[in-house]
């Protein structure tokens, strides 16, 4: 009888774990596809005790590409510690997200694992500030699915800036409307006329976001975006 109880408990644990974990196949654009043999990546998500999601993405060959935490089931809002790897297994970048935005210091390495200069972003708000913002503004922040991948594909580095060796991070402030549209973008910290213009052009060309919510209703919200040219 004791063995039967142990077996039953183990079976329940296994079933619960399998239910809480989900595996997706992704193409090179990180879109979910059905065909495993056509996948460039595989993604596994597990719901954790806090109700968030622990996610790992692997190259098709099995090597780890990314580990991180998301706040939502749709995996649109990065919130927690993330590590990205090269296909050879070396770390590429490591740092934290807060409600979809990079915060604090992000460490970087080249393909061979040699350190690169770190990047520093605004710190995440203190817990008391989060509580105040949550009660006065949005309970769910505005988000854009796979923002980093979209930036990598669509942000254009002006030829003049490349020739002049101009690089750095442009910070933009904008409003995401209740309909998900980008409104009133403005540069709060620029680098050069070429990079500032490229950043503004990129923001103005973005498709709809998922708008912020308060009490289940969509609302306008303010977002600050860092765009790095290097």
Whole-number Å distance between alpha carbons of 72 and 91: 25
Whole-number Å distance between alpha carbons of 85 and 12: 35
* End-to-end Cα separation, the chain, in angstroms: 66
Residue 38 has φ and ψ, to the nearest 5°, of -100, 0
- DSSP assignment string, 42-80: EEEEEE-TTS-EEEEEEETTS-EEEEEEESSTTS--B-E
Quote the pTM value. Answer: 0.54
92-to-27, 29, 85, 190 alpha-carbon distances in Å: 21, 19, 5, 26
Domain residue ranges in the chain:
20-124, 125-230
- Share in percent of the chain as helix, strand, coil (round to 5): 25, 40, 35
Mind listing the pLDDT tens digit of every residue in the chain (230 residues)? 444 444 444 444 444 444 467 899 999 888 899 988 899 999 999 988 878 899 999 999 999 999 999 988 888 888 899 999 999 999 999 999 888 888 889 999 998 999 988 888 877 766 555 444 544 556 788 888 888 888 888 999 999 888 888 888 889 888 999 999 999 999 988 889 999 999 999 999 999 999 988 888 898 888 888 898 88
Task: Give the DSSP H/E element, type plus range, for residue 229.
Answer: strand 221-229
Task: Give the DSSP H/E element, type plus range, for residue 83.
Answer: strand 80-85
- For domain 125-230, the CATH superfamily is TonB (3.30.2420.10)
Closest residue by Cα to residue 87 from 113, 105, 119:
113
Alpha-carbon torsion angle 73, 99, 120, 166, nearest 10: 80
């Amino acid at each position: 009888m004791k063995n039967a109880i142990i077996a039953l408990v183990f079976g329940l644990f296994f079933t619960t774990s399998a239910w809480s974990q989900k595996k997706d196949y992704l193409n090179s654009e990180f879109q979910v596809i059905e065909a495993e043999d056509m996948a460039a990546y595989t993604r596994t998500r597990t719901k954790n005790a806090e109700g968030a999601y622990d996610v790992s993405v692997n190259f098709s060959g099995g090597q780890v590409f990314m580990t991180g935490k998301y706040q939502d089931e749709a995996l649109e809002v990065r919130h927690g510690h993330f590590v990205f790897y090269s296909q050879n297994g070396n770390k590429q970048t490591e740092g934290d997200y807060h409600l979809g935005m990079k915060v604090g210091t992000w460490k970087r390495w080249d393909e061979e694992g040699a350190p690169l200069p770190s990047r520093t972003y605004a710190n995440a708000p203190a817990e008391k500030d989060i509580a105040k913002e949550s009660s006065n503004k949005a309970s769910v922040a505005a988000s854009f699915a796979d923002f980093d991948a979209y930036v990598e594909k669509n942000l254009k580095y002006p030829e003049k800036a490349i020739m002049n060796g101009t690089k750095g991070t442009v910070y933009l402030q904008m409003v995401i409307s209740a309909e998900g549209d980008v409104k009133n973008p403005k540069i709060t910290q620029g680098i050069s006329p070429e990079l500032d213009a490229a950043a503004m052009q990129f923001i103005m060309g973005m498709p709809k976001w998922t708008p912020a919510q308060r009490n289940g209703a969509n609302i306008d919200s303010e977002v600050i975006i860092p765009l790095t040219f290097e």
